[in-house]
DNA sequence: AACTTTCATTTGTATATACAATTAATAAAA
DNA sequence: TTTTATTAATTGTATATACAAATGAAAGTT
């Protein structure tokens, strides 16, 4: 059954969630080669891009609750991909050398993901959708 | 921080998930009056609309995995809002009288949700977005 | 300086969702 | 008709995400 055949096809709750779940499945496939879930992969990518960030900043960047960031970091730490350094009430999150060495494969997964959805949806059309979704998300509270 | 300020603002994974989470929060608020989470509320609405449906059909309609539907039905059953009737390998899900009596409040919550997001996003613009998201979801596998 | 408030992060707990495996029933094939 | 395959639904288990409470540190106030 197509998403458009649902009785809720005009509902923002239904459509945004249905789309997100489908995109997530595609992302999961793309990130399998390095054994990370999409959210872990995106967090690690952020940490690699800007080493030493605070969990709070990562929470802003990824639009995830602070507690979620803590949980994600714990997993990455257990995999020896990041380390936390605490000073006072602040925590600094750094990538390990292992993570740095993984960079090419990470880039590759991200690229494959882009290619995967662009080839299905069309590059222009998916870009347009992303822009619209971000614009709408900006308008919504929190 | 706005969604558009994230380094991932061009990414379909990030934007679709960020949007869905924000919409979910709005929906949670809207459904609080009847004490149901959005997914439970949508499932119940479906069951009220078409009593006697099979879990498989509900899974199609709501685009959720069969096991998820089972779990949601269990909750609704515990709240005495639906009953399952099994015949052979098929299961029929019916709303209880309690659920039927709740119909006006349910409609009200749905209406309030629509109003809430339409007033923030604009009726036309949110409709357009929904249509685009559904169209894209249709193209994605599974 | 002592007290209070604020803030960053983490923990305890709860919820949603799904995959894989299982069960039970029907349908198909031999 | 016995066996095999398919199908519907459920269960076991795992993951992601978040709220609320707790912790510990810094800043502000008196």
Residue A5: pLDDT band by 50, 70, 90 thresholds? Answer: very high
- Per-residue model confidence (pLDDT) at position A75: 96
Nearest to A112 by CA among A34, A13, A60, A46: A34
Is pLDDT at A109 greater than 90 in this prediction? Answer: yes
- Per-residue model confidence (pLDDT) at position B142: 76
Q: 3-class SS at A8?
A: coil
For A16, the token pair is 């945004």
DSSP 8-state secondary structure symbol assigned to residue A6: S
Q: What is the mean pLDDT of chain A?
A: 95
Hey, are the CB atoms on B134 and A1 less than 8 Å from each other? Answer: no
Pairing of strands B82-87, B90-95: antiparallel
First to last CA, chain B: 34
Give the bridge partners for A86, in sequence order. Answer: A91
DSSP 8-state secondary structure symbol assigned to residue B80: T
Contacts of A79 (CB under 8 A, 6+ apart): none
DSSP 8-state secondary structure symbol assigned to residue A53: B
Q: 3-class SS at B114?
A: helix
Q: What are the pLDDT digits (tens) for A83-93?
A: 999 998 899 99
Question: Which chain B residue has the Cα nearest residue A126?
Answer: B12
Q: What are phi and psi of A86, to 5 degrees?
A: -105, 135
Contacts of A6 (CB under 8 A, 6+ apart): A14, A18, B61, B62, B63
Residue B29: pLDDT band by 50, 70, 90 thresholds? Answer: very high
Q: What are the pLDDT digits (tens) for B47-67?
A: 999 999 999 999 999 999 999
Nucleotide nearest residue B74, measured CA to C1': D10
Residue B141: pLDDT band by 50, 70, 90 thresholds? Answer: confident
Whether A65 contacts chain B with CB within 8 A: no
- A 68-127: CB under 8 A from B: 113-114, 117, 120-121, 125-127
Question: Which chain A residue has the Cα nearest residue B110?
Answer: A11
Q: What percent of chain B stands above pLDDT 90?
A: 96
Is pLDDT at A142 greater than 90 in this prediction? Answer: no
Q: What are the pLDDT digits (tens) for A39-73?
A: 999 999 999 999 999 999 999 999 999 999 999 99
Residues of B in contact with A36 (CB under 8 A): none
Q: 3-class SS at B88?
A: coil
Is pLDDT at B106 greater than 80 in this prediction? Answer: yes
For B100, the token pair is 């039927």
Nearest to A59 by CA among A43, A80, A45: A43
Q: What are phi and psi of A2, to 5 degrees?
A: -80, 155
- Per-residue model confidence (pLDDT) at position B72: 97
For A129, the token pair is 């959708």
Q: How far is CA B69 from the centre of its chain?
A: 11
Q: What are the pLDDT digits (tens) for B70-86?
A: 999 999 999 999 999 99
Residues of A in contact with B138 (CB under 8 A): 2-4
- Separation in Å, CA A2 to CA A22, A25, A111, B39, B142: 12, 16, 27, 19, 9
């Amino acid at each position: 059954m197509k998403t458009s055949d649902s009785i809720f096809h005009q509902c923002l709750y239904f459509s945004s969630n249905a789309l997100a779940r489908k995109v997530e499945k595609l992302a999961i496939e793309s990130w399998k080669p390095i054994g990370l879930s999409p959210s872990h992969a995106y967090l690690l990518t952020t940490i690699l891009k800007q080493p030493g960030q605070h969990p709070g900043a990562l929470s802003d960047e990824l639009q995830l609750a602070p507690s979620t960031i803590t949980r994600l970091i714990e997993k990455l730490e257990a995999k020896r991909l990041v380390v936390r350094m605490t000073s006072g009430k602040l925590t600094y999150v750094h990538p390990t050398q292992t993570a740095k060495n993984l960079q090419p494969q990470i880039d590759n997964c991200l690229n494959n993901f882009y290619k995967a959805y662009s080839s299905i949806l069309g590059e222009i059309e998916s870009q347009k959708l992303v822009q619209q979704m971000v614009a709408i998300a900006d308008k919504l509270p929190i």
